[in-house]
Structure 1
Amino acid sequence: MKNEQIEIFDTTLRDGEQVPGCKLNTEQKLKIADALDNLGVDVIEAGFPVSSPGDFKSVTEISKLVKNAVVCGLTRAVKNDIEVAAEALKYARRPRIHTGIGTSESHIKFKFNSTPEKIIEQAAEAVAYAKKFVYDVEFYAEDAGRTDNAYLAKVCSAAVKAGATVLNIPDTTGYCLPDEYGAKIKYLKEHVVGIDRVRLSCHCHNDLGLATANAIAGAINGARQIECTINGIGERAGNTALEEVVMILRQHPALNLTTNIKTKNLLGISKMIANEMGMFVQANKAIVGDNAFAHSSGIHQDGVIKNRETYEIINPADVGVTESSIVLTARSGRSALAYRAKKIGYELTKADLDIVYLEFLKFADSCKEVVENDLHRIIEGSKSRLEINI
């Protein structure tokens, strides 16, 4: 079966920047947008143009810069928002307006003080109006995760009829379980009128730690665009992490889903985003965390030294990591000690290793990690009892 493409919609510069303390200036946004374009993302959501003069300027300048990706601007279902977005996107080679409205019972009743019928009418009007400025119009049904499926299908059908090219199905509050979200996408594939003319998109939040799982469930059930951010940054607990969904699809070829992402750029852009936004990446973060390819347990280290695939399902080089890391701690075994000693120029015999290992354990019990300089001192301190010539 031929692989189908999942388009990667990156919203680091819009949803990601909404994190408190992560505000970027135009120069920073241009630097990131250029890196995202080189990474191979299909769509860059550059910002929310009507929100501020600074954001309008950034979207305009990104539109001039980006060579390959679609450049997208977010709006509410408000004519002025759409007009401002169209103006900001006028230099884009491939512009997209992303407009929409809340569709859950909670949003209709409390946020808009409206009715289901009026929401459908507003959704269609917003898409039709955006269509006057650009061909590519994405419609979002905010809080789709908590929206009744039958009603959601009606809203989406109206949006398609009005000219939408993409339907964004956000799990705005991160509430859905993967099987629920997957079933929602499947339901829309089967019940939205004109669904064959549009692309379904997943936009999942991580409030319960399920954003990536939900996005993958959506893709398995027919979505062909995933909206995500580098390092999973975003509102509250964050968004689907781009690096996670890309590598999941790559490592599971049986899904027959692929992306255009140049995975060897992932670590570099992760570090760039962390630095520019001042948001550190936790060490145990999948794919790009400092410990993602680090091993400190003796059992794991021995396995990795013998064959990397015993404990690593991803080749570190595939995501831009130079090599696996064998970290020496009190839990490390003889094979790891010999491996690290050889790296710094010592060929230890079995008898040598027995001597050095005892000294190593004494030292390792007093610290979190034994670094290269420590290892030199341990071996040099044991010199008189060793067979090797050092």
Structure 2
Amino acid sequence: MTDKLIIFDTTLRDGEQSPGASMTKDEKIRIAKALEKLRVDVIEAGFPIASLGDFEAVQAVANTIKDSTVCGLARALEKDIDRAGDALKGAASARIHTFIATSPIHMQEKLCMSPDQVLEQAVKAVKHARQYTDNVEFSPEDAGRSEIDFLCRIIEATIDAGAGTINIPDTVGYTLPEYFGHLIAELRERIPNSDKAIFSVHCHNDLGLAVANSLSAVINGARQVECTINGLGERAGNAALEEVVMAVRTRHDIFPCHTDLETTQIVTCSRLVSNITGFPVQPNKAIVGTNAFAHEAGIHQDGVLKHRQTYEIMKAEDVGWHANRMVLGKHSGRNAFRNHLQGLGIEFNSEEELNVAFTRFKELADKKHEIFNEDLQALVTDALTIVHEQIKLVALRVCSEMGETPHASVTLNINGIENSVSAKGSGPVDATFKAIETLVNSNMNLLVYSVNNVTNGTDAQGEVGVRLEKEGQIVNGQGADTDIVIASAKAYLNALNKILNPVERKHPQVVQPV
């Protein structure tokens, strides 16, 4: 028998803090359902005090998810904790995660508090959180740069106050694996009541070591890892859930623990998060990249054909990779379409959403001979974005030929009124964007333009991601189509619609003394 390693997913909270990755309430619910199907133990749904939108999203996830614990983040302030408690009232299993910084630089420069004041506030916060739930987690923020003696004091005190989970965050990605593992071991050894709490880790990837640091901590006794799908997160991101889980599973000779995750859902979750946030997965990304199980070198191909384990340490099928051909076609009915998507963990909130997605499916079936589950993920995400759009693409005509300046004619429906315009550009996409800007006049700056194929083949859908910026506000947009120029127009409009319907979200970081 081995210990259970608790998987704490913070894609909906820390992952959402990536610039441009803000999610709507419905998008958070879609991801939360996928995480539940993945059998994630704890889902950190958001930061309820941050905004009304975040509160409502956490509340909606708490009311929807039944098989995973739903967690809300709160600073070590009573108002934060009360807000989190209110948001989590409907949860089948709830956790409040409260935190305060403990490193000298944070206490002196950010909090303007003494260590004794920080300790007192942490204890008060944990006790207050216990009024709402017995499942309380405490994090000494920036523990990776905190003094070990003070960490021992504050952790011992918060465990006595009722914290059942103690999370050790490497908030700025500063530590190294050997040091971080030693830190976990030393804390567990020195703190008298350490056996009364589960030790957790939350590592950032600023030096590319988030997964390595997390695994070093697990070897040294940590039994919860906080991570995100695709390693999404602030700055360089967090430890990637898929890498942590598969490392523990693959190297069971090293790790004295196991997870309860349904790993065949990993790729589905990865694609869903990528589609919703507009953050593409790099092809050589471990586990979920399109090249993760691909072999091109002749020696490798020969070895795999003779015995898979010569060059593969995992089965692609174990994480959800498979050539799953869609048996539905253009003659398939709405119920068959709905049932197939439910099998992928995709559900619709209204008949209108189903009808829009079904119409898009029929259009795709006329264009593309083979439809794969990856096509459906992209199609549904693309379809759901247009239900509440203020700006809709009605028509697009592009002319591009050698020796001539490309031009595009675009017709948009803006709040029920159609307008058309033509524009020239250095290429068909540039001309299309300039035509859209002529009608919308958003004055946004295009920071990122990326194109990825959803599946293989010349008839594959192209998935376009754009990142727009204006006066410090950053949004991502995404669109998919077998025509890459149309996909580009969809992505640009998707981003513009997010500007018109912004997700209200603030992440307060400065805690004032109380």
TM-score range, shorter-chain basis? 0.7 to 0.9
Q: Deviations over 1:118-171 (max 9, x none)?
A: 111111111111111111110011000111112111110111011101001000
Deviation at 1:14, TM superposition (A): 0.1
Quote the Cα distance in structure 1 between the aligned partners of 2:213 and 2:148: 16
Structure 2, unaligned runs of 5 or more = 324-455, 459-514
Quote the Cα distance in structure 2 between the aligned partners of 1:71 and 1:288: 25
The corresponding residue for 2:293 is 293
Q: Deviations over 1:185-227 (max 9, x none)?
A: 0011111231111100010000000000000111110111000
The corresponding residue for 1:22 is 21
> 2:203, 2:214 within 8 Å by CA — same for their partners in 1?
yes
* DSSP 3-state at the match of 1:286: coil
User: Which letter does structure 1 place at the counterpart of 2:252?
Assistant: P
Q: Give runs of aligned pairs for residues 37-56 of structure 1, distance below 5 A.
A: 37-56=36-55
Quote the Cα distance in structure 1 between the aligned partners of 2:256 and 2:217: 14
Quote the Cα distance in structure 2 between the aligned partners of 1:229 and 1:296: 30
The corresponding residue for 1:231 is 230
Deviation at 1:372, TM superposition (A): 8.1
The corresponding residue for 1:187 is 186
> 1:40, 1:261 within 8 Å by CA — same for their partners in 2?
yes
Quote the Cα distance in structure 2 between the aligned partners of 1:51 and 1:114: 22
Quote the Cα distance in structure 2 between the aligned partners of 1:144 and 1:190: 17
Deviation at 1:117, TM superposition (A): 1.1
> 1:17, 1:23 within 8 Å by CA — same for their partners in 2?
yes
Deviation at 1:263, TM superposition (A): 0.5
* DSSP 3-state at the match of 1:46: strand
User: Which letter does structure 1 place at the counterpart of 2:29?
Assistant: L
Structure 1, unaligned runs of 5 or more = 324-370, 374-390
Question: How much is the aligned-residue C-alpha RMSD, in angstroms?
Answer: 1.2
1:271 aligns to 2:261 (yes or no):
no
Quote the Cα distance in structure 1 between the aligned partners of 2:256 and 2:315: 20
Q: Give runs of aligned pairs for residues 118-197 of structure 1, distance below 5 A.
A: 118-197=117-196
1:86 aligns to 2:85 (yes or no):
yes
Q: Deviations over 1:241-286 (max 9, x none)?
A: 0000100000011222100110001111100100011000001100
The corresponding residue for 2:211 is 212
> 1:6, 1:224 within 8 Å by CA — same for their partners in 2?
yes
The corresponding residue for 1:318 is 318
Stretch of structure 1 that moved more, 68-77 or 301-310:
301-310
User: Which letter does structure 1 place at the counterpart of 2:130?
Assistant: K
The corresponding residue for 2:382 is none
1:101 aligns to 2:100 (yes or no):
yes
How many pairs does the alignment contain? 325
Large movers: runs of 4+ above 6 Å: none
What TM-score comes out, normalization by structure 1 length?
0.82
1:303 aligns to 2:303 (yes or no):
yes
Quote the Cα distance in structure 2 between the aligned partners of 1:281 and 1:167: 31
* DSSP 3-state at the match of 2:116: helix
Quote the Cα distance in structure 2 between the aligned partners of 1:109 and 1:193: 28
> 1:216, 1:245 within 8 Å by CA — same for their partners in 2?
yes
Deviation at 1:322, TM superposition (A): 1.7
What TM-score comes out, normalization by structure 2 length?
0.62
> 2:205, 2:237 within 8 Å by CA — same for their partners in 1?
yes
> 1:145, 1:181 within 8 Å by CA — same for their partners in 2?
yes
Quote the Cα distance in structure 1 between the aligned partners of 2:218 and 2:124: 28
Deviation at 1:294, TM superposition (A): 0.7
> 2:219, 2:256 within 8 Å by CA — same for their partners in 1?
no
The corresponding residue for 2:240 is 241
Quote the Cα distance in structure 1 between the aligned partners of 2:25 and 2:243: 27
Q: Deviations over 1:274-315 (max 9, x none)?
A: 001100000110000010011111111111121111111011
Stretch of structure 1 that moved more, 128-137 or 271-280:
128-137
Classify 1:372/1:6 alpha carbon distance in 2 versus 1 (closer, same or farther; 3 Å): closer
Higher helix share: 1
* DSSP 3-state at the match of 2:75: coil
- State the identity as a percent: 50
The corresponding residue for 1:262 is 262
User: Which letter does structure 1 place at the counterpart of 2:142?
Assistant: D
Deviation at 1:181, TM superposition (A): 0.5
Q: Give runs of aligned pairs for residues 336-347 of structure 1, distance below 5 A.
A: none
Quote the Cα distance in structure 1 between the aligned partners of 2:37 and 2:457: 36
> 2:96, 2:133 within 8 Å by CA — same for their partners in 1?
yes
Quote the Cα distance in structure 2 between the aligned partners of 1:243 and 1:61: 26
Quote the Cα distance in structure 1 between the aligned partners of 2:267 and 2:99: 33
Quote the Cα distance in structure 1 between the aligned partners of 2:58 and 2:317: 33
Quote the Cα distance in structure 2 between the aligned partners of 1:3 and 1:130: 31
User: Which letter does structure 1 place at the counterpart of 2:188?
Assistant: K
User: Which letter does structure 2 place at the counterpart of 1:291?
Assistant: N
Quote the Cα distance in structure 1 between the aligned partners of 2:173 and 2:251: 24
* DSSP 3-state at the match of 1:75: strand
> 1:203, 1:215 within 8 Å by CA — same for their partners in 2?
yes
The corresponding residue for 1:198 is 197
Quote the Cα distance in structure 2 between the aligned partners of 1:96 and 1:191: 27
User: Which letter does structure 1 place at the counterpart of 2:259?
Assistant: T
Q: Deviations over 1:89-121 (max 9, x none)?
A: 000111111001000011111011111111111
User: Which letter does structure 1 place at the counterpart of 2:171?
Assistant: T
Q: Deviations over 1:27-72 (max 9, x none)?
A: 1111110110110110000000010100100111111100111110
> 1:160, 1:193 within 8 Å by CA — same for their partners in 2?
no
Of structures 1 and 2, the larger Rg is shown by 1
User: Which letter does structure 2 place at the counterpart of 1:256?
Assistant: P
Quote the Cα distance in structure 1 between the aligned partners of 2:193 and 2:99: 18
Quote the Cα distance in structure 1 between the aligned partners of 2:155 and 2:39: 29
Quote the Cα distance in structure 2 between the aligned partners of 1:37 and 1:306: 38
> 2:142, 2:170 within 8 Å by CA — same for their partners in 1?
yes
